[in-house]
Amino acid sequence: MILKLLKIIVLLIYASPGFVVAEDKDSYNSLLFGISPHLTKQQQAQWLPLIRHIEKQTNYPLRLQTSPTIPVFENRLFAGKFDLAYINPKLFIESNRYVGYQPVVKEGQKTLKAIIVVAKDSPYQTLKDLKGARFTSPENAFAASVLSRLNLYAQGINIIHSHVKTAAEGYAQVVDGSADAVGGVPQTFDLLPAEIKNSLKILWTSEGVAPYAFVVHPRVNSTVRQRIVEAILDFKDTPEGIAFFNKLKMNPFVSAKNNDWDDIRQLTGQ
C-alpha cells in the first residue's frame, strides 16, 4: 500500500505543469540563475533577495551560480545551463538567436550607457587626449568594453588595450596608475567606495542603448515562466525589493519583448 502511494505521488509531481527538470544541476529540481561575473562577488550576492522572493512566490527552488570568468559564464549560457539569467544586450541577441533564450523583463526607464573614466588629477580632458593611452575594460562587457572602444575607434583614437575581470579592478588600476583610463558603466561607478570614486572623473558618456535582459530558457514551460515574471514584477512593492533597487541603484523591472533590443541588432549587425 505504501509503495503504491509513493508511485502515485511521483506521478502527480511529474504531471504538475509547474515541474521543471533542471538539467545538469546540483539540485535535481532547482532552477539555475546565472549572472555575469563582471560584477564582484559582493555585488552578485546582492541579488539573493530577488532570488529568495521568486522562490517564495513561485515555490520553485532557485540557485545562483557564479562563474569564475566571463568566458566560463558565456560557455555555460550558450550550452543552455542556465534556466534564468541576467545578461548584457549583446549576449541576449546571441543567446536568443542560437539557444532560444527569451526576454521577460528589463530595467524600467533605463538605457545602457558606457563611460570612460580617468584619474581626477590626470591631464586628460577629451577623448582625443587618450590617443596611445593604456586603456582597460572588463572582459567581454558590452557597454564598458565594446561600446567604449567602438566610440574610440570611430574617432580614430588608438589605445593600448588590456582586459580586467571586473569593473572594480579596472577602476582600481586607474587609481594606482597602472592604467590611464577604464571603460565602465554608471552603475558600477556609482557603487565604488568613496575613497576610490573621489580619485576618479568621468571623461565621456555614450548615448543610451537597450539595457540588460532578464531571460528564461525555452525549456522552462509557460506556466512557470509566467509565475516567475509575476514574482519579479511584484518585487518592487516589497521592503526587500525597495532596498534591493536602492542598493543597486536600479529602476524596478518592467515587462520586456524581443524587439526592445532591435537597436543592439542594428549596432552589431545581427
- Examine the domain organization and report whether 135 and 249 are in the same domain: no
- Read off the pLDDT band of 39 (50, 70, 90): low
Asked whether residue 10 is domain-assigned, the answer is no
pTM of the model: 0.71
Cα radius of gyration (the chain) = 21
Instruction: Supply 155's cell numbers.
Output: 574617432
Measured CA to CA, the distance from residue 11 to residue 6 in angstroms comes to 9
Domain boundary among 174, 205, 236: 205
Q: Is position 19 within any domain?
A: no
Split into its structural domains, the chain has a count of 2
pLDDT for 95: 96
Q: Let me know whether 99 and 227 are in one domain.
A: yes
- 261 in a domain, yes or no? yes
Both 82 and 200 in a single domain?
Answer: no
Residues 138 and 180 in one domain: yes
Cell of 169: 579592478
144 is in which domain, residue-wise?
A: 115-205
Shared-domain flag, residues 101 and 138 = no
27 pLDDT more than 60: no
Task: Return the exposure string of 41-70: e unless at least 16 CB atoms fall within 10 Å of the residue's CB, then b.
Answer: eebbeebebbbebbbebbebbbbebebeeb
Q: Is residue 254 part of a domain?
A: yes
Does residue 16 sit within a domain?
Answer: no
Answer yes or no: do 218 and 103 share one domain. Answer: yes
> Is 174 within 8 Å of 115 (Cβ atoms)?
no
Write the pLDDT tens digit of every residue in 46-74.
899 999 999 999 999 999 988 888 789 99
- The domain boundary residue, chosen from 153, 179, 205: 205
* Secondary structure letter of residue 144 according to DSSP: I
Cβ atoms of residues 199 and 119 within 8 Å: yes
Is 17 part of any domain? no
pLDDT tens digits for range 208-226: 999 999 999 999 999 999 9
CA-based nearest residue to 157, from 191, 184, 181: 181
Q: Are 95 and 123 found together in one domain?
A: no
